[in-house]
Structure 1
Amino acid sequence: MRPDDWHLTEDVDDFLARAGDFLHSRPTLHTVPLTVTEALRTRGADAYGADAPIFGVLERAGEVRATFFRTPPRRLTLTPLTPEEADSLAAHLANLGHPLPGVNADRDTATSFAEAWQRHTGAMPTLHERERLYRLGTLTPPEPLPEGRGRVAGEDDRELLKLWHREFVTAIGGTPSADISSWADTRIVDERVTLWETPDGTPVSMAGRTPMVAGQIRVAPVYTPAHLRGRGYAGAATVEVSRAALAAGAGEVLLFADLANPTSNGLYQRIGYRPVADFAVYDF
Structure 2
Amino acid sequence: MRPDGWHLTHDVDEHLARAGDFLRSRPAPHTMPLTVIERLRTDGPDAYGAGAAVFGRLERAGEVRAAFHRLPARGLSPTALTPEGADGLAAHLAGLGYALPYVSAEHRTAASFADAWQRHTGATPTLRGRLHLYRLGTLTPPEPRPAGRGRVLGAADHDALLRWCDGFVTAVGETPAVDAGSWATSRFADKRFTFWEAPDGTPVSLAGCTAPVGGMVRVDPVYTPAHLRGRGYAGAVTAEVSRAALAAGATDVVLFTNPANATSNALYRRLGYVRVTDFAVYDFA
TM-score with structure 1 setting the length = 0.91
Which has the higher mean CA deviation after the structures are superposed, 174-183 or 76-85?
174-183
1:104, distance to aligned residue in structure 2 (A): 1.1
Structure 2 counterpart of 1:180, from 183, 188, 198: 183
Alpha-carbon distance between aligned partners in 1 of 2:76 and 2:95, rounded to the nearest angstrom = 16
Percent identity (aligned): 65
Contact 1:166-1:180 within 8 A present in 2 as well: no
2:78 is aligned to 78
The 5 A counterparts of 1:147-158 are 147-158=147-158
1:201, distance to aligned residue in structure 2 (A): 1.4
**Secondary structure class of the residue paired with 1:242:** helix
Alpha-carbon distance between aligned partners in 2 of 1:129 and 1:47, rounded to the nearest angstrom = 26
1:131 is aligned to 131
1:36, distance to aligned residue in structure 2 (A): 1.0
Which has the higher mean CA deviation after the structures are superposed, 37-46 or 104-113?
37-46
2:247 is aligned to 247
1:172, distance to aligned residue in structure 2 (A): 4.7
Alpha-carbon distance between aligned partners in 2 of 1:39 and 1:62, rounded to the nearest angstrom = 27
Task: Map Cα deviations across residues 217-266 of structure 1 (whole Å, 9 max, x no partner).
Answer: 11111122233322222111101110110111111211111112111111
Q: Tell me, yes or no, if structure 1 residue 194 matches structure 2 residue 197.
A: no
Which has the higher mean CA deviation after the structures are superposed, 145-154 or 172-181?
172-181
Contact 2:133-2:275 within 8 A present in 1 as well: yes
**Secondary structure class of the residue paired with 1:141:** coil
1:263 is aligned to 263
2:236 is aligned to 236
The 5 A counterparts of 1:1-284 are 5-170=5-170, 171-176=172-177, 179-181=182-184, 186-187=190-191, 192-284=192-284
Unmatched tracts of structure 2, length 5 or more: none
Contact 2:24-2:214 within 8 A present in 1 as well: yes
Code of the aligned partner of 1:86: A
Contact 1:210-1:218 within 8 A present in 2 as well: yes
Task: Map Cα deviations across residues 202-231 of structure 1 (whole Å, 9 max, x no partner).
Answer: 112111111111111111111222333222
**Secondary structure class of the residue paired with 2:158:** helix
1:186, distance to aligned residue in structure 2 (A): 5.0
Alpha-carbon distance between aligned partners in 1 of 2:240 and 2:33, rounded to the nearest angstrom = 25
Structure number with the higher helix fraction is 1
1:33, distance to aligned residue in structure 2 (A): 0.7
**Secondary structure class of the residue paired with 1:240:** helix
Code of the aligned partner of 2:215: G
**Secondary structure class of the residue paired with 2:8:** strand
1:175, distance to aligned residue in structure 2 (A): 2.7
Unmatched tracts of structure 1, length 5 or more: none
Contact 1:158-1:185 within 8 A present in 2 as well: no
The structure-2 alpha-carbon separation of the partners of 1:223 and 1:50, relative to structure 1 and needing over 3 Å to count, comes to farther
Alpha-carbon distance between aligned partners in 2 of 1:280 and 1:182, rounded to the nearest angstrom = 23
The structure-2 alpha-carbon separation of the partners of 1:205 and 1:243, relative to structure 1 and needing over 3 Å to count, comes to same
The structure-2 alpha-carbon separation of the partners of 1:175 and 1:45, relative to structure 1 and needing over 3 Å to count, comes to farther
